[in-house]
Amino acid sequence: MPDVQVLVNDFINKLRKRKIEGSQATSRQTAELLRSVISQTRVPYTNQAGALIDAVRAVGEQLIAANPVELAVGNIVRRVLHIIREEDLSLATAAVAGLGLSSVSDDEDDSERDNHPVLSAAVVAAAARSTLRPPSLQTLLEDVPDSGAVPHTSSSGGDSEGKSKSADKSSRSRKLKHDVIEALNELIQDITTCHELIAEQAVEHIHQNEVILTLGSSRTVLEFLCAAKEKKRSFRVFVAEGAPRYQGHLLAKDLVTRGLQTTLITDSAVFAMISRVNMVIVGAHAVMANGGVIAPVGLNMVALAAQRHAVPFVVLAGSHKLCPLYPHNPEVLLNELRSPSELLDFGEFSDCMDFGTGTASPLLHVVNPTFDYVPPKLVSLFITDTGGHNPSYVYRLIADYYSADDLVVQRRPPTAS
């Protein structure tokens, strides 16, 4: 599959050079790339899911390593792995159900079903299902964990197949790939439409004559505010400009063209204005498993100001921003330092920063971090495409979207290398 490798390398280069910006674009392109990887992968007769998982994982590792700060890449890789597992499982259970039907003529009678082959198949299916779920107290005493992880799931499919006719095999392998690609298309669709889904909820949160504060620019926030405006809510928006990139200026302009009352303030004026604000609505870069938020720089300050004045701090995030990892030292490890040219004009300050003139290191340092970490206790509400959630509920969403095996396995190789 040489052409896929070209695509992968191309994408990796873009990620490295930070040519792709924004988690939405990144995640959509990642999903599209993985879709072509899957469609190009030749699957063997047995253990098709395993082959697909290996292929996706191999590509995923490279992508994650290309830009570890862009968490959306890892999220989508894990989502795809989860989708493969799920589709494989649904096929396996379907096969088991078919088997049960063929071997036991009367499946209405429960006592009839207690004979051995059907029973073992049912147990296998149950075991496979539980591997997809995160471990829980219920399964603590049952003996599925870890021996029956990935290989078990796929071998269960192989077992049931061995009993059925061989003609089934090829159709099934094609079906798995087909189903996975179908599900991936849905995922891409979800990513592109998540703005609308989030914006639909705007009227529930923004009320008449309220004052909303936001910082920087986020497309989700823009759509959210406009959706409320379209529903005939009249409200004011304070936009903090979001230094050093001043994307707040662009947001303010967009809002004004859509007919919203807008006030532009500097970032440092947030504390001065917060007492007049009813709600803070911001976008996010990523939402971590503990409910903490990786957000554009300056938002931690806004969150603290909001907490000081008991103003609700609402974060809008599409489900592709949910990251199943816990932040370790996020201020440093999940941050990115951008070019100092955004802060200072090189012409004027080049003397202070010039490495060529002095023998020692320059006296003036410019640090321009991109992200802030907002701890979960400062967040009042997450609005995702599935509705509003408390920060302590985020782990539950993550359990829905990712399977537990992928978190660990996916993380080990990059840290080891």
Q: Write each residue from 274 to 313 as x if it is in contact with another protein (CB under 8 A), else as -, in one continuous string.
A: ---------------xxx----------------------
Q: Quote the CA–CA distance of 57 and 60 in Å, as a whole number.
A: 5
Stretch that binds another protein, among 91-99, 137-145, 152-160, 232-240 (CB under 8 A): 137-145
Residue 395 binds to another protein (criterion: CB under 8 A): yes
User: Cβ of residue 325: shortest distance to another protein, in angstroms?
Assistant: 9
By CB under 8 A, the residues from 70 to 89 that bind another protein are: none
Residue 417 binds to another protein (criterion: CB under 8 A): no
Residue 143 binds to another protein (criterion: CB under 8 A): yes
Long-range contacts of the stretch 307-313 (C-beta < 8 A, 24+): 307/378, 308/271, 308/274, 309/274, 309/275, 309/277, 311/213, 311/274, 311/277, 311/278, 311/279, 311/280, 312/278, 312/279, 312/280, 312/380, 312/381, 313/280, 313/282, 313/374, 313/378, 313/379, 313/380, 313/381
Residue 117 binds to another protein (criterion: CB under 8 A): no
Ordered DSSP codes for 262-306: EEEE-GGGHHHHGGG-SEEEEE-SEE-TTS-EEEETTHHHHHHHH
CB atoms within 10 A of CB 337: 10
Nearer to another protein, 163 or 411 (CB): 411
User: Cβ of residue 395: shortest distance to another protein, in angstroms?
Assistant: 6
Residue 232 binds to another protein (criterion: CB under 8 A): no
Long-range contacts of the stretch 90-94 (C-beta < 8 A, 24+): 90/179, 91/157, 91/172, 91/175, 91/176, 91/179, 92/125, 92/128, 92/153, 92/156, 92/157, 92/160, 93/125, 93/128, 93/129
By CB under 8 A, the residues from 315 to 374 that bind another protein are: 326, 328-329
Q: Quote the CA–CA distance of 230 and 372 in Å, as a whole number.
A: 32
Stretch that binds another protein, among 133-141, 172-180, 313-321, 350-358 (CB under 8 A): 133-141
Determine the size of the site formed for another protein (CB under 8 A): 26
By CB under 8 A, the residues from 175 to 204 that bind another protein are: none
By CB under 8 A, the residues from 47 to 66 that bind another protein are: none
User: Cβ of residue 136: shortest distance to another protein, in angstroms?
Assistant: 6
User: Cβ of residue 17: shortest distance to another protein, in angstroms?
Assistant: 29
Residue 116 binds to another protein (criterion: CB under 8 A): yes
Residues at the site binding another protein, with contacts judged by CB under 8 A: 110, 114, 116, 119, 123, 134-138, 140-143, 289-291, 326, 328-329, 376, 392-393, 395-396, 404
